[in-house]
Each structure stands twice: as C-alpha cells, then as structure tokens.
C-alpha cells in the first residue's frame, strides 16, 4: 500500500467528511436526528450541512479516543504546523487540555509550581488529581491593578525550596497579554528535572504571527494547551494539546480519555482541522492584519485621554518579559468607571460585545475577522461613554489580585466536610469552594484558602459593579461553603 503524502494543504478529517456525505450512507446509528431529518426546527436553524456532518465515530472517520487514520493524520499535521512532537485534538475545551497536561505530570501528593492567577481549570485539575500547588505570587502593576507574569527569581526560589516539584505551569500569555520569561523558566525547570506546562489559551497566534512573543513549543516547554477557538478560528470548545520530545504521547492519550467524551463532535474536529490548515497557509498575513487593527485602535483610544490602552511600554524584562500586541487591553478606572461597567454599557447601549470587563479594565479581542468600520465603532463608543458616563474615581477598588493564604490543598478542602455560611460572616474561615468572576475565570478564592476581609471586600465590590460571579453552590453567591475541621 502506498502511504499518502500529506501537506499543510490537506485537511484529512474535513476530506473524509466530504467523502462520507457523497457516499449517502444510510444511518442506523446515533445521533438520532438522522442527518437533521428528525428535527426540522434544529436543521432550519443550524443548516442542513451542519446536521449532516454531526455524525458518530465510524471506521472511515476514525475515533478520537484511539486515532488510527484520518484523525491521526490531522493531529500529525497539527503537530507539524505548531512545531511540536505530538498534538491531541480536544473537544471539551482548553479546560480539558489544561487538566490533561497537569494530570499527565502529577499524581496525588505531587507538587506543581504555578502562578496564583491561573484559570480555574488548573486548580480544578488539582481537585481531581490531588496534586499540591506551590503558588508564586505574580508581579503587580499598581497603576493598572493587574497581575503580571512570574519573576524568574521567584520561580528559582520556588524551585530551590521545592526541588521535588514535578512541574511548573506558566501562563503564556495572561488574559491581559502579559508574558513571563518562558525560555529562562524552561531552562531552570529542566535543570532540576521538572516539566514545563504552558497555558496558551490566548496564545494560538504566537505560532503563526511575526514579531510576537515566543510560543511554548519554541521555548522548549514540554506541553501546551492551545485554545484554537479563541484566536485560531475553530469552533468554540475546540482546542489542541501539544507535547514535546520528553513526553510519552500514549500515556497522555490515556489521561485525556479519562475525562474526554467518547462521542467526539466531528463539527469540532473538522473545525480544528480546517483552522490549522488556514493558519498554516495564511497565518502570517492574518496576524499581521490583527496587529495593525489592534495598534490602530490602541493609538486612537489613547488619544481620547482618560483610557489607557497599554502595550509593550510595560515590559520590564522580568514580570513583564514580553507583551502580546494583538491584545486590546484598556484601563478604565481613571474615567471613574469599572471595566465591567464599560463592558455593560458597550453591549447594552452600543451593541458591542467585548471579551470581558473586570473592576479596572476591559479586553477587546481583535482578529483578522474584524473590519475597520467595527474598530471605528468601538473607538467612537468608548469616546461617547467617556463623555456621557465618566465620573469621580475616588473610592474605586484599585487592584485585581489578592495574595492568597493557602491553608489546605484544593482537593482536601473541596472534599472535606463543609457547611454554608453567609459570605459576610465567613471571614477567617477556610473556603471549600471557588468564587470567581467569569470571564476570565481566575479564582478570587479557591478551595483551601482562608477568607480574608480583603477578599470579601473584593467580592462585594465586584457584585456591586455587576460582575458575573460563579463557583459556589449558592447560585446567588450569598453563602459560601467553608471547611468544618482541618
């Protein structure tokens, strides 16, 4: 048999699905909508092709749990495109990818070094597998009130204090676009036999753009969780987990299969396949356009005064080693408005949906899919919001990050006996659950952390300003489960 020679112009899953549609196979398998015929309203809403392509795993289409043909080929092409040794298609989001890479390196009782401003998915992984976090407090920009990256000196100190740690997790970049010195952290970690894991939920474009921060694989990291759907153009919930030469891919696949569905969506899989092809062939031009849009918007917004659209001027070669210039992160507090208030005004009054707003900043995701007219509309709306709604900024909460007081490991606290108490009466207790604003999903409070007056003040302020809080069993976020006995 002559083996197929595949290039980045191929999209094996997409090609197999096209062939499957042409074969007009009679379906006596799931899904029960039978190509959409069993649910006309859904078919009319999503489109006939979408429903016809929503198929089950079958021999010609391969199986994500044990890929041997077209999915295997698509993953190999993705690994080549991202310059990794192996790639794994994920259909339960980058949350699944982050958890899989942590669980591939750490078992119950193992230590993992990480910044505290990680996404909840990373701490969720610790709840599941029982690993122990060694938190590094990130740098803090006092003017913007935002957490930064990890100082190399802090990482080195954590490594020397905990030489038995199995891995180090690094955000590359943070939600705000801040990058740590990933290459130096990789060198340090590898010298001590530790793995380096990168949360690249917002870093897909680092692999394909020019003059952007270094990607995890280029920096020598062992694994990276990449949100293809955020800046790579695939469908929401689709992601890729990348691994380097020191990682056993078959073991990683076993770990992934512990939690990932056995009924993988071919809509998500084909979107990853086609998005990878597009990035490989057109990525440089796509992200050149993205940078131009972002820089134009940043320059114009800064001309408005009051707002501060920050960028590479924050670089200090330590806690801000580099900055992702595609990120349109904007500080709003000087006009007397919390970021979440600007977020709400943009959506409710101007029909503009941005990525998130916190208590001091907003983030607008810019991509090659944007249009110049829409960029101008955002700038104009921000100008009008300043004119109509700006006020006195005295008394506003001025920082996003609160250093945690960790008393128990997340798994221990989460599965301990707990009882609910009103939030305002919980000071000094140990939290048995999460509290976070979403997005971005970085916990204000995680299981095992002592509840301080500062934490309670932050939660109260975030609620007052309209932030969407999640994490507690109490859907109203009025009560919190606290650990009864240590």
**Could you read off the pLDDT of 168-197 as tens digits, one per residue?**
999 999 999 999 999 999 999 999 999 999
Q: What is the CA radius of gyration of the chain?
A: 23
* Whether residue 266 sits in one domain with residue 300: no
Give the count of alpha carbons within 13 A of 466, CB side only.
Answer: 13
The pLDDT, as a whole number, for residue 402 is 86
Identify the domain boundary among 330, 359, 389: 389
For residue 296, pLDDT beyond 60: yes
The pLDDT, as a whole number, for residue 115 is 95
Q: What is the dihedral of CA 247, 253, 259, 261, to 10 degrees?
A: 150
192 part of a folded domain: yes
| pLDDT-based confidence at residue 395 (cuts at 50, 70, 90) | confident
3-state SS class at 483? strand
pTM: 0.95
Query: Are the beta carbons of 194 and 172 closer than 8 angstroms?
Result: no
* Whether residue 320 sits in one domain with residue 252: no
In Å, what is the CA distance from 225 to each residue of 98, 327, 355, 357, 398?
6, 19, 20, 24, 31
Domain that holds residue 451: 410-483
Between vectors from CA 396 to CA 394 and to CA 400, what angle results, nearest 5°? 145
* Whether residue 185 sits in one domain with residue 111: yes
CATH of the domain at 311: 3.90.1150.10
Identify the domain boundary among 247, 272, 297: 272
* Residue 31 burial (CB count, 10 A): 16
CA neighbor of 361 nearest in space, from 200, 123, 228, 177: 177
In Å, what is the CA distance from 6 to each residue of 125, 395, 444?
36, 60, 47
Residue with tokens 């890729």: 240
CATH of the domain at 427: 3.90.105.10
Identify the domain boundary among 237, 272, 307: 272
Give 227-268 pLDDT, tens digit per residue.
999 999 999 999 999 999 999 999 999 999 999 999 999 999
27 part of a folded domain: no
Q: How many domains does the chain have?
A: 3
| pLDDT-based confidence at residue 486 (cuts at 50, 70, 90) | low
Q: Please give the Cα distance from 216 to 198 (Å, whole number).
A: 6
| Mean of pLDDT over the chain | 95
379 part of a folded domain: yes
Query: Are the beta carbons of 435 and 443 closer than 8 angstroms?
Result: yes
* Whether residue 245 sits in one domain with residue 265: yes
The pLDDT, as a whole number, for residue 482 is 97
Characterize the bridge pairing of strands 178-179 and 322-323. Answer: antiparallel
304 part of a folded domain: yes
The pLDDT, as a whole number, for residue 2 is 40
For residue 110, pLDDT beyond 70: yes
Residues pairing with 197 in the sheet = 169, 223
Average pLDDT of 79-90?
98
66 part of a folded domain: no
205 part of a folded domain: yes
For residue 1, pLDDT beyond 50: no
Characterize the bridge pairing of strands 435-437 and 469-470. Answer: antiparallel
For residue 167, pLDDT beyond 80: yes
The pLDDT, as a whole number, for residue 3 is 56
The pLDDT, as a whole number, for residue 473 is 96
Average pLDDT of 377-383?
98
| pLDDT-based confidence at residue 398 (cuts at 50, 70, 90) | confident
Q: Please give the Cα distance from 69 to 62 (Å, whole number).
A: 6
* Whether residue 204 sits in one domain with residue 339: no
């Amino acid at each position: 048999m002559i083996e197929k020679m595949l290039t980045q112009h191929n999209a094996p899953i997409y090609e197999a699905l096209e062939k499957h549609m042409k074969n007009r196979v009679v379906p006596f398998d799931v899904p029960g909508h039978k190509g959409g015929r069993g649910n006309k309203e859904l078919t009319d809403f999503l489109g006939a092709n979408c429903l016809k392509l929503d198929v089950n795993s079958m021999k010609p289409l391969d199986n994500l749990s044990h890929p041997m043909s077209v999915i295997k080929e698509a993953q190999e092409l993705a690994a080549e495109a991202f310059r990794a040794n192996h790639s794994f298609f994920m259909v339960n989001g980058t949350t699944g990818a982050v958890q899989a890479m942590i669980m591939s390196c750490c078992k119950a009782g193992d230590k993992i070094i990480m910044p505290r401003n990680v996404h909840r998915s990373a701490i969720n992984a610790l709840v599941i597998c029982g690993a122990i976090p060694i938190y590094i407090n990130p740098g803090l920009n006092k003017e913007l009130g935002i957490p930064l990256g990890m100082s190399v000196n802090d990482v080195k100190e954590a490594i020397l204090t905990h030489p038995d740690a199995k891995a180090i997790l690094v955000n590359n970049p943070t939600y705000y676009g801040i990058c740590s010195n990933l290459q130096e952290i990789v060198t340090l970690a590898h010298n001590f036999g530790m793995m380096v894991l990168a949360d690249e939920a917002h870093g897909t474009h680092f692999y394909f753009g020019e003059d952007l921060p270094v990607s995890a694989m280029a920096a020598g990291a062992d694994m990276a969780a990449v949100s293809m759907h955020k800046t790579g153009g695939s469908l929401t919930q689709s992601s890729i987990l990348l691994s380097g030469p020191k990682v056993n891919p078959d073991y990683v696949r076993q770990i992934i299969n512990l939690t990932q569905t056995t009924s993988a969506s071919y809509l998500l899989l084909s979107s990853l396949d086609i998005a990878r092809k597009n990035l490989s062939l057109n990525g440089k031009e796509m992200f050149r356009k993205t940078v131009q849009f972002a820089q134009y918007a940043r320059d114009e917004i800064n001309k408005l005064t009051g707002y501060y659209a920050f960028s590479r001027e924050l670089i200090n070669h330590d806690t801000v080693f580099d900055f992702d210039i595609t990120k349109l992160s904007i500080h709003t507090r000087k006009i007397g408005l919390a970021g979440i208030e600007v977020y709400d005004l943009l959506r409710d009054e101007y029909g503009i949906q941005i990525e998130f707003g916190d208590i001091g900043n907003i983030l607008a995701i810019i991509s090659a899919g944007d249009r110049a007219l829409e960029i101008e509309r955002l700038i104009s709306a921000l100008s009008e919001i300043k004119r109509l709604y700006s006020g006195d900024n005295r008394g506003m909460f001025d920082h996003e990050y609160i250093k945690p007081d960790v008393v128990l490991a997340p798994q221990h606290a989460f599965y301990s006996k707990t009882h609910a108490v009103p939030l305002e009466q919980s000071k000094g207790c140990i939290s048995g659950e999460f509290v976070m604003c979403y997005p971005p999903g970085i916990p204000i409070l995680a299981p095992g952390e002592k509840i301080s007056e500062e934490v309670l003040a932050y939660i109260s302020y975030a609620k007052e300003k309209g932030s969407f809080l999640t994490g507690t069993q109490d859907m109203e976020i009025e009560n919190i489960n606290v650990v009864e006995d240590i």
